[in-house]
Amino acid sequence: MKILVVEDEKRLGKLIKKGLEEENYLVDLVYDGEEALNYLSTQNYDVVILDLMIPKLDGKEVIKILRAKNVKVPIIILTAKDEIKSKIEALDLGADDYITKPFNFEELLARIRAVLRRDKDIKSS
């Protein structure tokens, strides 16, 4: 399983990458929205973990562009923005799940497994 992590806080991004690799995921880490779109245009990912407050193109713009291009990769938002309005907007734009920072890594893993299960169920039906 291949995951793209989009996180502008470099230390946190590296910690997430390391933790996911220890769980045997293949992980690419990028730090801004433009770089995320570049990676997503050239590679296939099973899940995207996306911060909303990232440079160049924010996370909401990344979601809009991906969904407009009919890219169906599951997107888990991982952000410090904990307002209900922000959660609803991101989910309505096409995010599949939403986690606020600070977060529990085990919960992130469980949510990754959940979106992968849903995606697998959709593809098999």
pLDDT in tens, 59-113: 999 999 999 999 999 999 999 999 999 999 999 999 999 999 999 999 999 999 9
pTM for the whole structure: 0.93
| Domains of the chain by start residue, with CATH | 2-124 (3.40.50.2300)
Closest CA to 51 of 4, 120, 19, 88: 4
Q: How far apart are CA 98 and CA 113, in angstroms?
A: 14
Angle, alpha carbons 22-62-71 (nearest 5°): 80
DSSP state of 104: -
Is the Cβ–Cβ distance between 100 and 81 less than 8 Å?
yes
